[in-house]
Amino acid sequence: MTAITRDLFDEVMCPNYNPAAVLPVRGEGSRLWDQQGREYIDFAGGIAVNALGHAHPELVAALEEQGRKLWHLSNVYTNEPALQLAADLVAASFADKVYFANSGAEANEAALKLARRWAVEHHGEDKAEIISCEKSFHGRTFFTVTVGGQPAYSEGFGPKPGAVSHVPFNDLDALAAKISSRTCAVMLEPLQGEGGVKPAAPGYLEGVRKLCDEHDALLILDEVQSGVGRTGKLYAHEHAGIDPDILTTAKALGGGFPIGAMLTTDRIAPSLKVGTHGSTYGGNPLACAVAGRVLSIIKQPEFLAGVREREGWFREGLEAINARYEVFAEIRGQGLLLGAQMAPRLAGRARELLNAGVEHGVMTLVAGPDVLRFAPALNISQDEARQGLERLERAVAAWVAAADAA
């Protein structure tokens, strides 16, 4: 039997990741335990994935129940959990039609292909330009990483897909200057995650919607990270009172089970004709059964109100830490997707603070070199949040003392 340790990763895995030395083996709620039995409070949530924490009993039950019935069919057939989940997503959103995939990147790939296909069918080959935002992130396929506004992720792989351009996020004037009759779609995140946890400014999404309408361009909203209750609404664009033409959702949708979906309208969906796109595992019965249970819990008004309440706990706790140690220049975000921008004297050192947190029993994320990111379970208890913030404060105190002594 192979000894399973962190060292084994370096022996048998491709080196595109550099995981922490900690190797978690069990989770319950917002707590994790490693191989040595050490406990951690999880403020990372698998990068906004574990929306109901670890091993939620209702999700375990849904998986076990479906696991005794049907695992996989392929899309030669449909299945009951997929149809039920699609109907529930349509009922809860702006959409009329749903396409299932396995991840956010695949959902975004489908969205971009659908937008191009729609434009070709309705306007011709010249209407092909896709405009996205600088610092955006839309996945790691070659198309999505090109549309994403972080060149470091797309460089070094040869020629990129063409007719893709970028403008600054939250800059309507820049978009107005770029968009034209040749624009097929505008794609953006209502709340940038990987780009530094930056919310859309008041009026921005409404302005983007208006510009798209004026140029008959589709509005694609990437809600892979901001969706499924993360901001206190089922989807973040609901705060602005606008609807997209296409929306992508994943991460929290499966509560930890891999699933992605693209949502769109009856006006756009017919362009995804039989044979134009597909996924072997998309609409998998196991994934859809779990996601259906996740959605049924999170879409409830009282649950979403709880997310907004928990945002207050985190903001209050982080502001209190900052009042004592002055490590953050700004705390921003929405709901339970929050970012703490490092103070100028600590610029570029967010990962050091992440590592210090792990040493003190709390897991966080970064969003670039300057932002400590928080994406905990949406149902995290007040006691778990309090304990995690106490551990984070101890980490901050030790880290600041070491930094000041250096």
Point out the residues that are catalytic. Answer: 137, 222, 251
CA dihedral 104→109→115→116, nearest 10 degrees, is 170
Q: 52 with 297: CB under 8 angstroms?
A: yes
User: Can you tell me the distance from the alpha carbon of 393 to that of 347, in angstroms, rounded to the nearest whole number?
Assistant: 19
Q: 210 with 238: CB under 8 angstroms?
A: no
User: Can you tell me the distance from the alpha carbon of 43 to that of 314, in angstroms, rounded to the nearest whole number?
Assistant: 10
Calculate the CA 58 to chain-centre distance.
22
**For residue 169, what are its two tokens?**
């996020």
**For residue 101, what are its two tokens?**
């995939």
Q: What are the two backbone dihedrals, phi and then psi, of residue 252, each rounded to the nearest 5 degrees? A: -60, -20
The label of the residue with tokens 């949530």 reads: 45
User: Can you tell me the distance from the alpha carbon of 148 to that of 255, in angstroms, rounded to the nearest whole number?
Assistant: 25
- SS3 assignment, position 131: strand
**For residue 199, what are its two tokens?**
């919310």
Cβ density class 127-158: b for 16+ within 10 Å, e for less: bbbbbbbbbbbbbebebbbbbbbbeebbeeee
Q: 221 with 136: CB under 8 angstroms?
A: no
